Amino acid sequence: MMRSLTRCRKASSSIYAVLLLIIITLASGAVLFNFVMANVNFAKSSFTSQMSALLVQSFTINATQITAWLENAGSALVEITGAYVNGLIVALANTVNIKPGSVGTTSLLGDFTKGATYTVKLLSVFNTVITFDVTY
């Protein structure tokens, strides 16, 4: 009888040791995952800001379109993929690809009213958003 009690204690001690090792491994994995993901997100954000820097050179507005001249101050080709005016999606008149160090023109089609101010957001392939206000 005494002998079986000793075996049970040894067996349960081994189970506790294995469970403790599994818990330590999972906790270490979670810490490592958080560390790696933080570094990946930092690398993505710094890559985006270094590769695509758009500057608004000038813009014009009339009753049917807003035209903006954008300078690509980054080191990669930038494509304007979408546009919003006052939070609503508007159509781009043309496909806009701006080479590094050059100026490109984009035209947004819509109906615009004199005296109104419009908030324009342009989106690029690098998820860069450029925002500016236009008053007609």
CA distance linking residue 124 with residue 136, whole number of Å: 25
Give Dmax over CA atoms of the chain in angstroms.
98
User: What six digits make up the tokens of 13?
Assistant: 């001690």
Instruction: Return d(Cα 39, Cα 31) in angstroms, integer.
Output: 13
pLDDT-derived band at 59, boundaries 50, 70, 90: very high
Summarize the confidence of residues 73-100 as an average pLDDT.
89
As a whole number, mean pLDDT of residues 31-36 equals: 92
Q: pLDDT-derived band of residue 11, with 50, 70 and 90 as boundaries? A: low
Range of weakest confidence among 42-56, 66-80, 105-119, 120-134: 42-56
68 neighbors 120 (Cβ within 8 angstroms):
yes
Q: Tell me the mean pLDDT in the region 21-49.
A: 84
**What is the predicted pLDDT for the residue at 95?**
85
Q: How many helices (H) and strands (E) does the chain have?
A: 1, 9
d(CA 108, CA 45): 28
- Is-contact 93 65, C-beta < 8 A? yes
What is the model's pLDDT at position 103? Answer: 93
What pLDDT score was predicted for residue 8? 58
Arithmetic mean of pLDDT over the chain: 85
Whole-prediction pTM value?
0.60
Task: Classify 101 in phi/psi space as left (phi over 0), alpha (psi -120 to 50) or beta.
Answer: left
76 pLDDT tier (thresholds 50, 70, 90): confident
As given in the structure block, the two tokens for residue 120 are 């324009």
